[in-house]
Amino acid sequence: MFKRISALMLAGLTAMSVAACGSGGGDTSANTGGGGDSTITMGFSQVGAESGWRTANTKSVQDAAKNAGITLKFSDAQQKQENQIKAIRSYIQQKVDVIAFSPVVESGWDTVLKEAQNAKIPVILTDRAVDSKDTSLYKTFLGSDFVEEGRKAGKWLVEEYKSAADPVNIVELQGTTGSAPANDRKAGFQEIIGADPKFKIIASQTGDFTRAKGKEVMEAFLKSNPDIDVLYAHNDDMGLGAIEAIEGAGKVPGKDIKIITVDAVKDGMQALADGKINYIVECSPLLGPQLMDLAKKVVKGEQVPARVVTEETVFTQEQAKQVLSTRQY
Ligand code: AHR
């Protein structure tokens, strides 16, 4: 009897330590309701809570899991790759049915993805890509075309300055170093503006997708560059932090310095409607429902497309005024 109780206690403790090991800064498990396929358990490793976009994405995933009747084991990696790897290993040990994650950076995933493959647990990439050559390591990648987002930002700038003869001095606030959106938004933007030598990126640095870092880096840009014409920020949050820095330096955001950002979260859209941002390229965080549909198919062994690209638009100041009151996030 004692032996049985001890064995049960040991099993319980083991289960608890596995869950704790995978947490990397906050691991929760939620079931659901919703009717639907309650036999599926998904392990989801989120990047963190660095931006308004990320908060909206987390809510979308959690709500969609609930509506689909999928049990969600959720962990927040606090922007650290090692936490995501720990979480994925924990999900493998827990024998979840499917693992989904948004990789904080593009490189360094092959070993852990191979472990998931060996355990026969399908993996779905959501929001961000990995640079693994072996694409059999994951079933599908759901998310935005970040290169195209960068191109859209560049096209607006080229149009805005089409009759300017003088050089256009641009500063760039990059997203998290090594992340797919930082790499791709830079590349897409450069591809478009690179065709005309008058566009000059005079400073470019990471602001890690956060408001605080965006402000800090913009303050440094302003100190060392008296003649900034344009700020290109890889997300709204860094742009909003930069606006504080620009105002602190006695300049008028949107006029003295034109600002282009990516995301279109509510705070960004408010600043666009207020004339402090000039143009926003949308990146939709509402990936949850599509993710749950893909997860159900993948678990059943059905074919899914290798790439599912999110539909997105762009916003001018006038368009922001029109849609602001109905913006969901
Ligand atoms: O991967 C999507 C990006 O990550 C969003 O543009 C940014 O706000 C977030 O942190």
Ligand 1, from 54, 102, 142: best to mutate by most atoms within 8 Å of Cβ? 54
Mutating to test ligand 1, I would choose from 45, 46, 51 the residue with most ligand atoms within 8 A of its C-beta, which is: 51
Would you say residue 33 has pLDDT above 80? no
Q: State the distance from the centre of ligand 1 to the C-alpha of 155, rounded, in angstroms.
A: 21
The predicted structure's pLDDT at residue 23: 37
Which residues' Cβ are closer than 6 Å to ligand 1?
50-51, 53-54, 127-128, 181, 209, 235, 237, 262-263, 283
Instruction: Give the rounded percent of residues in the chain with a pLDDT score beyond 90.
Output: 88
Amino acid 328: pLDDT: 86
Q: What's the pLDDT score for residue 145? A: 98
Q: What is the per-residue pLDDT for 31?
A: 52
CA of 236 to the centre of ligand 1 (A): 9
Atom of ligand 1 nearest to the CA of 50: 10
pLDDT in tens, 127-171: 999 999 999 999 999 999 999 999 999 999 999 999 999 999 999
pLDDT above 50 (res 63): yes
What tens digit of pLDDT does each residue of 258-285 get? 999 999 999 999 999 999 999 999 999 9
Question: Average pLDDT, stretch 284-310?
Answer: 98
CB atoms within 10 A of CB 194: 11
Distance between Cα 104 and ligand 1 center (Å):
10
Question: Does residue 38 or residue 308 have the better pLDDT?
Answer: 308
pLDDT of residue 30: 58
pLDDT level of residue 120 (50, 70, 90 thresholds): very high
3-state secondary structure the chain: CHHHHHHHHHHHHHHHHHHHHCCCCCEEEECCCCCCCCCCEEEEEECCCCCHHHHHHHHHHHHHHHHHCCEEEEEECCCCHHHHHHHHHHHHHCCCCEEEECCCCCCCCHHHHHHHHHCCCCEEEECCCCCCCCHHHCCEEEECCHHHHHHHHHHHHHHHCCCCCCCEEEEEEECCCCCHHHHHHHHHHHHHHCCCCCEEEEEEEECCCCHHHHHHHHHHHHHHCCCCCEEEECCHHHHHHHHHHHHHCCCCECCCEEEEEEECCHHHHHHHHCCCCCEEEECCCCCHHHHHHHHHHHHHCCCCCCEEECCCCEECHHHHHHHHHHCCC
Percent of the chain predicted with pLDDT > 70: 88
> Average pLDDT in the 236-252 region?
98
Out of 53, 58, 149, 284, mutate this one to test ligand 1's pocket (max ligand atoms within 8 Å of CB): namely: 53
Q: How confident is the model at residue 13 (pLDDT cuts 50, 70, 90)?
A: very low
Hey, what's the torsion of the CAs at 210, 212, 214, 218, to 10 degrees? -170
Question: If you measure from the C-alpha of residue 311 to the centroid of ligand 1, how many angstroms do you get, rounded to a whole number?
Answer: 16
The pLDDT of 174-178, averaged and rounded, is 98
- Judged by average pLDDT, the poorest of 1-10, 174-183, 186-195, 220-229 is 1-10
Q: Would you say residue 26 has pLDDT above 90?
A: no
* Averaged pLDDT of the chain: 91
Residue 73 has pLDDT above 80, yes or no: yes
